[in-house]
Amino acid sequence: MSAFAQTLVPHPVVLPVKDLRRMIRLVRDLHALSRHCGYRELVHRTASPLAQFDPGHDAVLMGYDFHLGPAGPRLIEVNTNAGGTLLASLAQCTQETPGPLRLSPRLGERILASFLAEMQRQSAGTRLRPRRVAIVDEQPQAQFLYPEMQAIRELFEAVGIAAVIIEPGELEERDDGLYHEGKVVDLIYNRHCDFYLETPAMAAIARAYQARRLCLTPNPFVYALLGDKRRMILWSDANILDGLHLPEKTRAHLLEMVPTTRLLADLGEEAAWSGRKYLVFKPSTRFGSRGVYVGERIARSRFASLPPNETLAQALVPPSLTYVPGRERPLKTDFRLFAYQDRVHGVAARLYTGQVTNLQSEGSGFAPVRIGA
């Protein structure tokens, strides 16, 4: 197996069914909230013009990350270009001999159906499937999850849809859209972490996207509604939710499941420093675990360097622990639900050491999930 496939922990993690149901319900609540007119208006007050542009479709693969504590699951963040589907699929299968890295047939069918639904919705039903797909990332072959991109490409190729894995600079801009090697690209699966298409490398994609010349999934519109970490401020503020006049059950569930999140500037630096043991500090614009600090371990000098208007202070929800045979210390554990719209494709468990979720620490990786009573 490749180093990619070796990032698997064979020891299963048990997720109580009642907690899974609460996670799924939150996915559905947030999906419904993203379609709420009042919520969209609230988000668009500060969003860029491109992020306000509605392409008419969603993000093909969302990731909802949770920690599981004594009081049940709590949302940590939402991702619009969630990675790890292949690792999660491999972890669920007890593959004893090396073989090709492929998504499980059932998961593969669901993901392919999501892509086709995106294409149909973006084209208002005039195109049932793309002629050519580009899977776009910065230096894709150097990315840890490159084998996952290859697996997605194979999904398309298996049904006769041409697909390539390229950098954004390999696309050619023409008056009627984007091309690769002289052939038009109808759909871009965006794995690039420039979520708002703000860098020069993504400028051609931004223009074609806004001109409706292609289907871009995920896209800035969905990222602004659900993936931008600053949205957790809205989801955990009772006054804001009251102003949206949500159903009481939805309002209560959001406030229960989303840890209180505030801008460091709004919380106040002295208040945040004095209460740091109960907080985690996150940059509002970065992805993954980059620049995340657990409050009880942050040095005063590092805390002082955090930009107040770009740093989130979130109530700390420690991860659960998984005891793996042969290891002296338990591994920290979080759960990711993969979803399209309000439909959950599957759940993954990520085991790790260190302050924040990562796949680089010794013994870390994806583990099979077993649903318990």
DSSP secondary-structure letter at 81? B
Q: Which residues pair with 163 in a beta bridge?
A: 133
CA distance to 29, 41, 201, 235, 275, per residue, from 246 (Å): 10, 15, 40, 11, 31
Pairing of strands 72-79, 162-166: unpaired
Q: Where are the domains of the chain?
A: 99-217, 231-320
pLDDT given for residue 363 in this prediction: 74
Query: CA gyration radius for the chain?
Result: 21
Residues 332 and 289: their CA atoms lie apart, in Å, by: 14
Pairing of strands 261-263, 311-315: antiparallel
Q: Would you give per-residue pLDDT tens digits along the chain (373 residues)?
A: 466 666 788 889 999 999 999 999 999 999 999 999 999 999 999 999 999 999 999 999 999 999 999 999 999 999 998 888 888 888 887 544 445 667 888 899 999 999 999 999 999 999 999 999 999 999 999 998 999 999 999 999 999 999 999 999 999 999 999 999 999 999 999 999 999 999 999 999 999 999 999 999 999 999 999 999 999 999 999 999 999 999 999 999 999 999 999 999 999 999 999 999 999 999 988 665 668 999 999 999 999 999 999 999 999 999 999 988 888 889 999 999 999 999 999 999 999 887 666 666 677 889 999 999 7
50 membership: H or E segment, kind and range: helix 49-52
pLDDT given for residue 11 in this prediction: 85
Residues 118 and 116: their CA atoms lie apart, in Å, by: 5
Residues 309 and 41: their CA atoms lie apart, in Å, by: 22
Residues 373 and 363: their CA atoms lie apart, in Å, by: 27
Beta strands in the chain (DSSP E): 13-16, 62-69, 72-79, 132-136, 162-166, 172-174, 177-180, 183-184, 187-190, 215-217, 261-263, 279-283, 293-294, 311-315, 320-322, 331-340, 343-352, 365-367, 369-372
Contact assessment for residue 162 and residue 133, using Cβ atoms and an 8 Å cutoff? yes
Q: Which long-range contacts (CB under 8 A, 24 or more apart) does 167-170 make?
A: 167/136, 167/137, 167/138, 167/139, 167/140, 167/201, 168/136, 168/138, 168/192, 168/201, 168/202, 168/204, 168/205, 169/201
Write out the DSSP string of 159-203. TT-EEEEE-GGG-EEETTEEEETTEE--EEEE--S-TT--SGGGH
- Domain 99-217, second-level architecture: 3-Layer(aba) Sandwich (3.40)
Tokens of 350: 């990520």
Residues 120 and 271: their CA atoms lie apart, in Å, by: 50
- 239 residue type, one letter: N
